[in-house]
Structure 1
Amino acid sequence: MMRLSRHIGVTVFNSVFMALIVVVGLDVVAEIIDETRAIERNYGFIDVLIYVGTKLPSTIYEYIPFSSLIGCLYGLGLLAGNSEVTVMRASGVSLIRIVYFVMKPVMLFIFVGALIGEYFSP
């Protein structure tokens, strides 16, 4: 059961992490493009990067719930696409236990999001 828990956890964790990287990356690129319109004599591109970098913790905090949902769906889709969920169900693993295995890595992201929201995000 430990191998199954680790396999599901790693798959879901990687999926959520990649979803978070993609969503935050797209938001950062859009923010840089939006801020480059305001470049003047006293506000250069380095200042734009500093501004976007200081907003990064709040952006991550904002997108953690969305990326957790997308990552869980994608990770479970990967497992279902390889018929691994069917094999788990056929071997006697209940849906409650599968949900528990999926929720363990998501709780880590929720905990990190709470830390970011409490200590790092303005």
Structure 2
Amino acid sequence: MMLQLYVLKTVATRILGAALILMSVLQILDLLDVTSDILDRGLGMAGVAYYAALRLPRLFEQVAPIAVLAGGLFAFSQLARESAVVAMRASGISGYRIVAMAVPAVVAVMLVDALCDLSSRDALTGLANRRQFDLALERETDRVARSGEAALVLLLDIDHFKRVNDT
């Protein structure tokens, strides 16, 4: 039991660390692109913080798979450096069981990833919800304003959409 908790803690902390580093890099790159536009609108640093907070679920969705791979690699390489894997194998624990000790951390990341996806999609249609629409609209209007291109936003309102969608 203690061994399983040690492996799980090692893997979980490495996955979390990889996710935080990757999300930070993506967040910084995104903010470098849009901060001046947000400040030009007069929203101040509170607007930048609000934008950054709204982007977090989408960023986690983007980095979760690579964070699991990188975190697992970092964790098992650390266990190998400490000869923990050799000790576990010598005590009769199979390689499959060693890897299975990390499964709860991977499942937790997958569940959080699914929740992030649900927070940005409509449950009925699977399309992006209002929050995602607002973020995309803001990004595109900023891009169009910088480039000077023409743009068009088309909105459709369908009455009794559920009945149409269910057919």
2:156 aligned partner: none
1:32 aligned partner: 31
Equivalent position amino acid for 2:14 in 1: S
C-alpha separation between the residues in 1 aligned to 2:105 and 2:42?
Answer: 44
Deviation at 1:93, TM superposition (A): 0.4
* Secondary structure of the corresponding residue to residue 40 of structure 2: coil
After TM superposition, list the pairs within 5 Å mapping 1:96-107 onto structure 2: 96-107=96-107
2:21 aligned partner: 22
Deviation at 1:41, TM superposition (A): 4.7
Deviation at 1:102, TM superposition (A): 1.7
Equivalent position amino acid for 1:89 in 2: R
After superposition, give the CA deviation of every residue in 1:36-81 in whole Å (9 maximum; x if it has no partner).
Answer: 2434254544323222221111111211111111000001111011
Query: Which structure has the highest helix share of the two?
Result: 1
Stretches of structure 2 that go unaligned for 5 or more consecutive residues are 121-131, 133-167
1:59 aligned partner: 59
Q: Is the 8 A contact 1:32 1:49 kept in 2?
A: no
Stretches of structure 1 that go unaligned for 5 or more consecutive residues are none
C-alpha separation between the residues in 1 aligned to 2:115 and 2:42?
Answer: 35
After superposition, give the CA deviation of every residue in 1:83-120 in whole Å (9 maximum; x if it has no partner).
Answer: 100111111100110111122211111111112211x2
Q: Quick check: which has more Rg, 1 or 2?
A: 2
* Secondary structure of the corresponding residue to residue 54 of structure 1: helix
Equivalent position amino acid for 2:69 in 1: L
- The number of residues matched between the two structures is 120
C-alpha separation between the residues in 2 aligned to 1:54 and 1:27?
Answer: 14
TM-score (norm 2): 0.66
2:111 aligned partner: 111
| 1:76 aligns to 2:76 (yes or no) | yes
Q: Is the 8 A contact 1:12 1:102 kept in 2?
A: yes
Identity %: 29
2:146 aligned partner: none
- What stretches of structure 1 move > 6 A for 4+ residues in a row? none
